[in-house]
């Protein structure tokens, strides 16, 4: 289709205010696929890694609940009406739209498009491209987002669009990505900050107007500046030695404040207190707020600069402005960066000692705290949310009552109930294994209601990462803790025998390692890429897809619990070094 155009929207800080990739990493959510390579959404609802040529496994990733929480927060939708209207305008005029994002959590894009209010007929026509480039360097990518754009072009050309790179516009918040666009292409820079009066959408609409698919109309005097801006190429911008500009940019009036705001900090790189401006403050606590950690700055300028850095890089939900002068309270993700540990938490420090433990016969296994007043309950809610997170409890239907889950129950010394497959509703599911997924175990339920009840119970007792919804009807995949509870063991492929040794899978060439920053995970480091690649292929073939993945550390793979359990059987296991 001649004259068809493609608009490639970035996602983080372009369609949403925050940086969802960084937020998910801060929550230690395991991505579905950490291998290099762009990931493109397929018609069956799965993603495919275009570098490895393999389907992306659905064994982790961002949950819908977590995504919804972010979308409902200040980090959520950015200029939602304008984005939705522009996408509709482009598609209605016969053009194409893609979301091109440096993210290992591309599954967050679809719920976001739905949150924008886009109808299904539009969403089904949008190409979603996530993942990292094959060089695995999203930060200051040497070729910008060109691999993502190329994947989107290929996606639409497979449908007969006939697009070339000159037909594609990149709408993005990162100058490096825009600078790497080929000469002659048209691109739009988006302010990283929340933009209340955006005008750059007119440039996008001009690019995908109806006139482009026939003949260009002569612009009016009012439209002429927009038409000219749409035609200015990146090459011409560079030749003028001027930075890419945009309307509605966030302006900082104080030059001293501006110098403190980090402009080149990558959300993909390890964070340090200095990069975030936190080194300008002192860590402090207050006796009347046990369990809370604060940073107090010498002046409001240092505090404001740190807040801007934190909100832009880690998200607005990682801290709050405190009542004390020039002070912010920091939550767990920033505490980890600062390498500080909260004081000991007690029921009194959380104000939950003001509530009485209670159970109800019609809700066996549930534990509640009943408070005398709404004020006491709200104070306890705030404290619990800060220390344990909002998933550790819920407000119950009864007056001034919250239901508390295992972490808080343990703090209060509530005896652990007998957890059985029956108490969790797992007895209504039948354990199954599938030949094409060696090592995986599933529970198949007769009804969706039985499955949902089991999922709710598992989330409360073991957490939402103890299982996942499978593609088969009324089916969930269960992981190690749940497998142990119901007394089933993974059935590995015929290649893993009782007599198998690490050498059979190339593991004798590697050293088992753990890294302090990634507790609970196991890695194998090899002396060469060839040894690493051989073990990687053998493990995934024998133990199932996802048993091994190549990570950023040199000549290293991460192994899953099935491989680690196999290694535990070896009498002469290599020592684990910590880094």
Read off the pLDDT of residues 347-380 as tens digits, 9 standing for 90 and up: 988 889 999 998 877 676 678 999 999 989 988 9
**End residue of a domain, out of 338, 366, 398:** 338
Q: Kindly state the tokens that stand for 364.
A: 């066996």
What's the CA gap between 214 and 464, in Å, rounded? 52
CATH of the domain at 182: 3.40.50.1000
Q: Is the pLDDT of residue 107 over 90?
A: yes
Across residues 91-100, what is the average pLDDT?
94
**End residue of a domain, out of 206, 239, 272:** 239
What's the CA gap between 62 and 458, in Å, rounded? 17
Spatial CA neighbour of 173 closest among 185, 158, 155, 187: 187
For residues 271 and 362, state if they share a domain.
Answer: no
Specify the long-range contacts of residues 193-198, CB closer than 8 Å, at least 24 apart.
193/17, 193/249, 193/250, 193/312, 194/17, 194/78, 194/250, 195/78, 195/79, 195/248, 195/249, 195/250, 196/248, 197/247, 197/248, 198/79, 198/82, 198/247, 198/248
> What is the average pLDDT score of the chain?
79
- Residue, of 447 and 59, whose pLDDT is higher: 447
pLDDT at 516: 58
For residues 151 and 14, state if they share a domain.
Answer: yes
| Residue 215: band (very low, low, confident or very high) from pLDDT cuts 50, 70, 90 | very low
For residues 35 and 63, state if they share a domain.
Answer: yes
Name beta bridge partners: 37.
Answer: 132
Q: To which H or E segment does residue 110 belong?
A: helix 109-115
Q: Is the pLDDT of residue 228 over 50?
A: no
> Residue written as tokens 């290694």?
567
Residue 1 falls inside a structural domain: no
Number of domains in the chain: 5
Read off φ and ψ for residue 182, nearest 5 degrees: -60, 150
Name beta bridge partners: 188.
Answer: 171
Give the pairing type, strands 54-55 and 47-49: antiparallel
What's the CA gap between 133 and 142, in Å, rounded? 10
pLDDT at 229: 38
Residue 64 falls inside a structural domain: yes
Comparing 145-149, 179-183, 218-222, 541-545, the range with the smallest average pLDDT is 218-222
Residue 32 falls inside a structural domain: yes
pLDDT at 250: 28
Q: Which domain holds residue 113?
A: 6-239
Q: Is the pLDDT of residue 193 over 80?
A: no
pLDDT at 244: 28
Torsion of CA 512, 518, 520, 521, to 10 degrees: -40
For residues 396 and 432, state if they share a domain.
Answer: no
Q: Is the pLDDT of residue 242 over 80?
A: no
Q: Which H, E and C letters describe 342-358, residue by residue?
A: CCCCCCCCCCHHHCEEE
The alpha-carbon radius of gyration of the chain (Å, integer) is: 26
Spatial CA neighbour of 462 closest among 485, 440, 434: 485
Q: Is the pLDDT of residue 232 over 60?
A: no
pLDDT at 176: 85
For residues 152 and 101, state if they share a domain.
Answer: yes
| Residue 548: band (very low, low, confident or very high) from pLDDT cuts 50, 70, 90 | confident
For residues 206 and 108, state if they share a domain.
Answer: yes
For residues 479 and 506, state if they share a domain.
Answer: no
For residues 436 and 510, state if they share a domain.
Answer: no
Spatial CA neighbour of 186 closest among 230, 239, 137, 143: 230
For residues 170 and 98, state if they share a domain.
Answer: yes
For residues 208 and 296, state if they share a domain.
Answer: no
For residues 324 and 285, state if they share a domain.
Answer: yes
Q: Is the pLDDT of residue 577 over 60?
A: no
Q: To which H or E segment does residue 404 belong?
A: strand 401-404
Residue 114 falls inside a structural domain: yes
| Residue 104: band (very low, low, confident or very high) from pLDDT cuts 50, 70, 90 | very high
For residues 17 and 95, state if they share a domain.
Answer: yes
Spatial CA neighbour of 152 closest among 268, 50, 62: 50
Provide the 10 A C-beta neighbour count for residue 466: 18
pTM: 0.43
pLDDT at 81: 92
Q: Is the pLDDT of residue 231 over 50?
A: no
Comparing 102-116, 156-170, 468-482, the range with the smallest average pLDDT is 468-482
Residue 174 falls inside a structural domain: yes
For 481-497, the pLDDT digits (tens) are 788 888 876 655 556 66
Residue 300 falls inside a structural domain: yes
Q: Is the pLDDT of residue 573 over 60?
A: no
Residue 29 falls inside a structural domain: yes
Beta-carbon-side half-sphere exposure of residue 573 (alpha carbons within 13 Å): 15
Residue 314 falls inside a structural domain: yes
């Amino acid at each position: 289709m001649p004259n068809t155009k493609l608009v490639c929207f970035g996602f983080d800080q372009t369609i949403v205010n925050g940086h969802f990739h960084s937020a998910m990493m801060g929550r230690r959510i395991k991505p579905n696929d950490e291998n290099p390579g762009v990931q493109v959404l397929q018609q069956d609802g799965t993603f495919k890694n275009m570098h490895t040529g393999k389907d992306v496994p659905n064994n982790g990733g961002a949950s819908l609940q977590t995504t919804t929480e972010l979308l409902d927060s200040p980090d959520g939708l950015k200029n939602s009406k304008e984005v939705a209207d522009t996408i509709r305008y482009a598609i209605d005029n016969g053009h194409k739209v893609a979301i091109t994002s440096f993210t290992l959590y591309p599954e967050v894009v679809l719920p976001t498009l739905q949150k924008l209010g886009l109808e299904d007929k539009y969403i089904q026509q949008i190409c979603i491209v996530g993942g990292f480039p094959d060089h695995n360097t999203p930060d200051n990518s040497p070729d910008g987002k060109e691999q993502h754009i190329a994947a989107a072009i290929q996606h639409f050309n497979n449908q007969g669009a006939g697009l070339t790179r000159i037909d594609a516009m990149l709408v993005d918040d990162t100058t490096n990505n825009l600078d790497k666009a080929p000469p002659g292409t048209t691109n739009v820079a988006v302010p990283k900050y929340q933009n209340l009066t955006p005008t750059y959408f007119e440039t996008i609409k001009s690019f995908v107007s109806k006139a482009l698919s026939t003949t260009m109309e002569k612009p009016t005097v009012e439209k002429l500046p927009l038409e000219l801006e749409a035609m200015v190429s990146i090459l011409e911008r560079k030749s003028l030695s001027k930075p890419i500009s945009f309307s509605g940019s966030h302006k900082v009036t104080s030059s001293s404040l501006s110098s403190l705001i980090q402009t080149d900090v990558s959300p993909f790189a390890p964070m340090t207190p200095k990069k975030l401006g936190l080194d300008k403050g002192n860590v402090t606590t207050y006796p009347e707020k046990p369990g809370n950690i604060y940073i107090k700055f010498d002046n409001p300028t240092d505090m404001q600069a740190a807040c801007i850095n934190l909100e832009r890089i880690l998200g607005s939900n990682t801290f709050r402005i405190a009542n004390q002068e020039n002070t912010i309270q920091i939550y767990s993700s920033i505490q980890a960066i600062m390498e500080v540990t909260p004081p000991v938490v007690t029921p009194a420090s959380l104000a939950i000692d003001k509530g009485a433990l209670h159970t109800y016969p019609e809700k066996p296994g549930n534990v509640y705290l009943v408070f005398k007043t709404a004020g006491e309950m709200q104070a306890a809610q705030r404290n619990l949310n800060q220390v344990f997170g909002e998933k550790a409890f819920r407000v119950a239907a009864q007056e001034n009552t919250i239901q508390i889950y295992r972490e808080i129950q343990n703090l209060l010394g509530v005896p652990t109930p007998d957890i059985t497959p029956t108490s969790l509703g797992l007895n209504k599911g039948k354990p199954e294994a599938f030949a094409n997924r060696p090592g995986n175990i599933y529970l198949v339920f007769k009804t969706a209601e039985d499955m949902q009840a089991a999922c709710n119970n598992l989330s409360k007792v073991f957490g939402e990462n103890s299982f996942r919804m499978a593609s088969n009807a009324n089916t969930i995949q269960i992981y190690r803790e749940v497998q142990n509870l119901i007394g089933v063991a993974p059935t590995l492929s015929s290649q893993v025998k009782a007599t198998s040794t690490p050498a059979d899978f190339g593991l004798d060439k590697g050293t088992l390692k753990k890294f302090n920053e990634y507790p609970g995970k196991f890695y194998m480091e090899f002396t060469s890429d060839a040894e690493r690649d051989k073990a990687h292929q053998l493990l995934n073939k024998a133990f199932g897809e996802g048993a091994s993945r190549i990570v950023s550390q040199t000549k290293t793979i991460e192994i899953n619990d099935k491989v680690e359990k196999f290694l535990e059987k070896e009498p002469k296991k290599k020592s684990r070094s910590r880094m």
